[in-house]
Chain A
């Protein structure tokens, strides 16, 4: 063994296969301009979310929900004291915007993780079990798929009153799994009769072990891809709900900010208040979307080749 400067890296690559595939994927991802832009934007939003804890520490008047500038009691344009001005009660718009980033990540990521976990589990079960179970689960998926989620959440909130942000997240997750489970089911069906599954069966593995030990690792990349698309839809649903006035009254989300500017009639007077939350919702959706498309290219070699041929 000669002392090769890259030997430590190669051995690490050999020792951890997942690291290997991650690095390969990253190499492809790096070539995608969309993915780069998306990732950069997301890092900025993540920084915003982290920084949202700072303003209230500097001065209690920067608290996005309860902090009111003692000298201001109405909507004012941007100034040194308030970088994006203040809202109708004299609250700082910039710190609300930062807090909104935190809520967007919280809602988006947790709803996406929940719906993808649910969708993957259901999809694998339906695909692997087949027959009655498959029909039952897939008909259920069809049924939920045609339901307008936002309007159904509205109906629920009409019966139960104001919904807590976590309730909203859970309802979104319960309604967004069918798309995931359809794809995962298809993937599972194609895996089911492969030799390695037969081999596992021969070796006496139970259904549970086959599903989680042998099928799951093979469908996880696909599930992960779906996660980014589910994040966008969850953020949009929460923002729309808040915009219509049915959000969690205890949180400051971007949708909530738009609801305030719309309902208090400052829409035409205060562009510094109307523009930022809308731009943020649109951009965070766009960046998750771009990230998803770039990851699509990493996972699906057919898409990669598209740009090289003719």
Chain B
């Protein structure tokens, strides 16, 4: 019951944050130096079309009215037309969203799970060789510059050894062949996903490993661990059943706190691997001065980050019954 209340409160907070972001974007695009019309209306449009769009977006009205129209358009899902693609922006970003969610969530979950697992082991062998190798390895991989790591992986595994494709998400010939079923297509996507996923994984697991390790070391000093030892439980049981679940909580928190940082990395990964996701679309649209697309991509990413934060919070409340908000 209380959990539901907590979720509702978080949802309300997130809605407020989102409205602020929406407003900031509105002001940024309307009040920045230069002509707002040129940022909203494709310069290649015919005069009649652009006239209609100006009326639709309310660009001829005062700022307050424009804002209301902007909000109305947002809720109706009208973000205008992309300058570059000439298609409705909504269609483009909806098509990109699943690709981003697929790559990003797999990457974060995989690195968190492996980080928790390895951090547990490292804490167990504290001060020994295993621990030092893991800690140093985690520090080094975590501080690698992401786009560079991506380029190096491409260079070695896609170019030198040709084990994996250099970029993209699908091979056209596999997808156009009508004989190929779902499994073949899924495997093709997986094959393309290996390198981008490795990039995200290598950058992120180290942070989770280090947090898990120090949380484990803290937890092992707790009284209930002493009790468990006194009861004569074997060490493996204590480590896996008593200490690890509690120590994993800070990792969940840090996943939430580092989401904004991770989504930056996600956009960089997508760009280097030309993965057709929302992050790459944002980078691309900014470089093409495709303002409507840039604005909508950013809003969508903001929604994704906020919702992911909510998921992490709920997960935390669920995992730690001691905490009720």
Beta-carbon nearest neighbor of B263 in chain A: A148
In the complex, chain A residues whose CB is within 8 Å of the CB of B268 = 150, 240, 243-244
Most buried by B among A157, A258, A278: A278
**CB within 8 Å for A282 and B143 given contacts A147-B302, A151-B301:** yes
CB of A222 within 8 A of chain B? Answer: no
List A residues 230-246 near B (Cβ within 8 Å): 232-233, 236-237, 239-240, 243-246
Select from chain B the residue with minimum beta-carbon distance to A285.
Answer: B143
When chains A and B are docked, how far (Å) is the Cα of A274 from the Cα of B300? Answer: 33
Cβ of B277 within 8 Å of any chain A Cβ, yes or no, is: no
Whether B257 pairs with A236 at a CB distance below 8 angstroms is no
In the complex, chain A residues whose CB is within 8 Å of the CB of B146: 240
A156 at interface by CB-CB < 8 Å: yes
> B residues within 8 A CB of A262?
147, 151, 272
User: When chains A and B are docked, how far (Å) is the Cα of A244 from the Cα of B34?
Assistant: 24
The B-contacting residues of A in range 135-169, CB under 8 angstroms, are 142-143, 145-152, 154-160
Chain A, 264-310, CB within 8 A of any chain B CB: 267-268, 271, 274, 277-278, 281-282, 285-286, 289-290, 306-307, 309
B163 in the interface, Cβ–Cβ < 8 Å? Answer: no
| In the bound complex, CA of A155 to CA of B25 (Å) | 9
Given that A147-B21, A278-B145 are contacting pairs, would A157 and B139 also be in contact in the complex, using a CB cutoff of 8 Å?
no
Chain A residue with minimal CB distance to B220?
Answer: A310
- Return chain A residues, CB-CB under 8 Å to B291: 158-159
CA distance A36 to B194 in the complex (A): 37
**What class of interface size applies to chain A in its complex with B?**
35 or more
Q: Which residue of A lies closest to B288 (CB)?
A: A158
Contact B17–A143 (Cβ < 8 Å): yes
The interface residues of chain A lying within 8 Å CB-to-CB of B259 are 146
Closest to B287 in A: A245
Q: B309 contacts A146, CB within 8 Å?
A: yes
- In whole angstroms, what is the CA distance A71 to B260 when docked? 47
New A-B pairs, 12, CB < 8 Å, besides A146-B306, A243-B147, A243-B268: A145-B257, A145-B260, A149-B260, A150-B267, A151-B267, A155-B282, A239-B145, A244-B287, A274-B151, A278-B152, A285-B145, A289-B139
What are the 10 A-B residue pairs with the smallest beta carbon separation, nearest first? A278-B148, A150-B264, A281-B145, A286-B143, A158-B286, A285-B143, A159-B32, A148-B260, A148-B263, A282-B144
Q: 23 A–B contact pairs at CB < 8 A?
A: A142-B13, A143-B20, A147-B21, A148-B261, A148-B264, A148-B305, A149-B260, A151-B282, A154-B298, A155-B25, A155-B282, A155-B294, A158-B289, A158-B291, A159-B39, A233-B261, A237-B264, A246-B287, A267-B151, A274-B152, A278-B149, A282-B140, A289-B142
